[in-house]
Structure 1
Amino acid sequence: MNSKNPLLVGNDISVHSDGKTLLDKVSLSIAAGEIVTIIGPNGGGKTTLIKALLGLRPITSGTVQRRTGLKIGYVPQKLVIDRTLPLTVERLMNLTQTHSHDAIIQALNETGVAQKYKDNIHTLSGGEMQRVLLARALIGKPDMMVLDEPVQGVDYVGELALYSLIETIRDKHQCGILLVSHDLHMVMRASTRVICLNTHVCCSGQPADVEKSPDYQRLFGGKSLQTMVPYSHHHSHSHDPLDAGILDTDCSCGDDHPEGHPHV
C-alpha cells in the first residue's frame, strides 16, 4: 500500500459465509485526493468488500482502520424504494439527517439537479437519480466517498457525464473516492490506483500497470485500456446528459447493461 496518511486502511480482510470464501486476505488503503477503483468479475466480492470496509458486514478476520472522525458519503449499488411511496427529492435528502434548504440546494446544484428539488423521485431518469444520490452523499462534506457502481441504469452518454462529475468532485473537495465499476474503458483515466478483485486481489497498481498484468488479461480477455478512450464523445447533435437509457434485459450474460454499453 502506497498511500500516505490514509483515510482508511483494510488489512488482510477475509469474509466467509455458508462455507464459502467471499474475500480472502484483501488489503487496500485510500488517501485524500485519490480515486481508487475496484474492478473484477461478478461474484468477485466487490460489494462485500465495500460493506466490510464500511462496517455494514462483519469480517471473519483482518482489520479495518479508519481515521478518527472520518466522514463517509456512501452511494450503494442498489437503492430499492417502493414506487407506491410518495417521496420527493427534498425528502430523500433529509431522510436520515435534516439539512437546511440552502445546503440541499447547494449539493443538488453541484451535481446538476437542483431543478429537481420538488420532484417525486419516481419521475427521475436513471442519470438524474444517480446525481441525486451523489448529492446526498456529498451534502455532509465527507472526507471520503464510497460509490458502488454509481452509473448503473444510465446510458453511455450519461455514464461519461457522471464519471466526469465524480472526477470534478474529487478535484474540488480533495476527498478520497473508493469506486466500484465495470466500466473499465471510462474510469481508468481518473483512477489513481486500480485493484482487480476476484475474491482475492489478483493485481493492483496504476492503471497502465494493471493492464499489463496476466491476471487482468485472463479476467478481461486482454482488452487494452489504451484503446478505450474515456470521456470522449464527439458529434454534431445535442442531447440531455442527464437522461438515462433503457436497460438491455436481453443480454446473454445475464447482467443488466444500458443500451449501447460495451460488454467487458
Structure 2
Amino acid sequence: MTLIHAENLEVRHGGTLALHDVSLDLEPGEIVTIVGPNGSGKSTLLRALIGAVAPSRGFVKRAPGLKIGYVPQKLHIDPTLPMSVRRFLDLPNRVSDAEAEQALAWTGVQGLEKRQIAALSGGQLQRVLLARALLSGPQVLMLDEATQGLDQPASAAFYQLIEDMRNTIGCAVLMVSHELHVVMSASDRVICLNGHICCEGTPEVVEAAPAYRELFGTGTGGALALYRHEHNHDHDHAHDHAHEAAE
C-alpha cells in the first residue's frame, strides 16, 4: 500500500511558483532522499506532503490514519527557558518514562532525561528530536536537513542511525539533504528537485543523469558518493529510471 501519493503538485508562495508538476509515491520501508540547490522547493515539498501547505493545483493522498514523525531543520530554543529533555518528550502528548527511555536509547542518547534542551550539543539535540518523532510509532519519518550544522562524521553517524531506525521499526523515510557526500549511503531512491523533479532513481542512476550533472556538476564537489550498504529490498530495482526534465 502506497503511504503517500502526490500528483501534479503546484505550490505558490504569493505570486512565486515554488513547485510545479511534482508527482511521487512513497512506499513502505523505503528511504527516499530529496536533493536540490537552495531555493529548489525541497522544504516546501515536505510541507505539502504533510499537509502544512495547500497546493494551488494537484493533490496529495495519504494512507488512512497515516502516522508521520517529523524532524525539523532546526529548533530555536530560548536558552533561558527551563526545559528538560524528559519534559520536551512530553510535548505535545505525555508519554510514559519507559517509552521516553526506549526512544532515547534507540537514538543513542540514553541518560539525558534531566539535561536541559538548551545545553545539548547539536548532535545530541538532533537525536532527541528524532527520539521525539519516533514516540508516535510513525509509518513515515520525514527529516528536513536534520544534520544542518553537524560536522561530517556526526552527519554520517546520524544517517546510519536513520537507516537503523528503518530496519528496526520498518518505517519509510523521506528526507531532504544538501549533503551529497554522505546521504547516499542510506538511500534507496533519490529525487533531484529544482522546482520540479529533474530526475529520480537509485543513487547510481541519478548520478549519471544529465539533469543532475547540470545542477551539481561532474567534479568531486558534486558527485554522489556511491558507498551504499547492501540492501535486500524488492523495491530496490523498481525505481531504476531517470527522466530528463522537460524544459
In the superposition, the TM-score normalised over structure 1's length comes to 0.83
Query: Structure 2 residue aligned with 1:25, among 21, 24, 27?
Result: 21
User: Does residue 89 of structure 2 align to residue 93 of structure 1?
Assistant: yes
Q: 1:18 deviation in Å?
A: 2.2
Contact 2:180 2:224 survives alignment (8 Å): yes
Q: 1:17 deviation in Å?
A: 2.0
Query: Structure 2 residue aligned with 1:80, among 52, 66, 76?
Result: 76
Q: 1:99 deviation in Å?
A: 0.3
Report the equivalent of 1:224: 223
User: Does residue 68 of structure 2 align to residue 57 of structure 1?
Assistant: no
Q: 1:229 deviation in Å?
A: 4.5
User: Does residue 68 of structure 2 align to residue 69 of structure 1?
Assistant: no
Report the equivalent of 2:30: 34
Contact 1:37 1:194 survives alignment (8 Å): yes
CA-based RMSD of the aligned residues comes to 1.3
Show structure 2 runs of 5+ residues with no match: 230-247
Contact 2:180 2:223 survives alignment (8 Å): no
What CA distance in whole angstroms lies between the structure 2 residues aligned with 1:37 and 1:229? Answer: 15
| % identical aligned pairs | 49
Q: 1:131 deviation in Å?
A: 0.3
Q: Deviations over 1:181-229 (max 9, x none)?
A: 1111212132111100001111111111101111100111113325x64
Query: Structure 2 residue aligned with 1:203, among 193, 199, 224?
Result: 199
What CA distance in whole angstroms lies between the structure 2 residues aligned with 1:57 and 1:98? Answer: 27
What CA distance in whole angstroms lies between the structure 2 residues aligned with 1:144 and 1:157? Answer: 25
Give, as a single letter, the amino acid of the residue that structure 1 aligns with 2:94.
T
Q: Deviations over 1:148-187 (max 9, x none)?
A: 1111121111111101100100111111000101111212
Contact 2:156 2:183 survives alignment (8 Å): no
What CA distance in whole angstroms lies between the structure 1 residues aligned with 2:68 and 2:52? Answer: 13
What CA distance in whole angstroms lies between the structure 2 residues aligned with 1:198 and 1:136? Answer: 31
Contact 2:71 2:142 survives alignment (8 Å): yes
Contact 2:68 2:139 survives alignment (8 Å): yes
Report the equivalent of 1:111: 107
Report the equivalent of 1:15: 11
What CA distance in whole angstroms lies between the structure 1 residues aligned with 2:131 and 2:115? Answer: 15
Report the equivalent of 2:190: 194
Report the equivalent of 1:134: 130
Report the equivalent of 1:176: 172
What CA distance in whole angstroms lies between the structure 2 residues aligned with 1:87 and 1:153? Answer: 22
Show structure 1 runs of 5+ residues with no match: 232-264
Query: Structure 1 residue aligned with 2:157, among 156, 161, 165?
Result: 161
Q: Deviations over 1:210-261 (max 9, x none)?
A: 01111100111113325x6479xxxxxxxxxxxxxxxxxxxxxxxxxxxxxx
What CA distance in whole angstroms lies between the structure 1 residues aligned with 2:126 and 2:188? Answer: 23
Secondary structure in 2 matching 1:62: strand
Secondary structure in 2 matching 1:188: helix
In the superposition, the TM-score normalised over structure 2's length comes to 0.88
Contact 1:111 1:135 survives alignment (8 Å): yes
What CA distance in whole angstroms lies between the structure 2 residues aligned with 1:108 and 1:188? Answer: 25
Q: 1:46 deviation in Å?
A: 0.3
Report the equivalent of 1:144: 140
Task: Could you list the structure 1 runs, at least 4 aligned residues long, displaced by more than 4 angstroms after superposition.
Answer: 228-231
Report the equivalent of 2:241: none
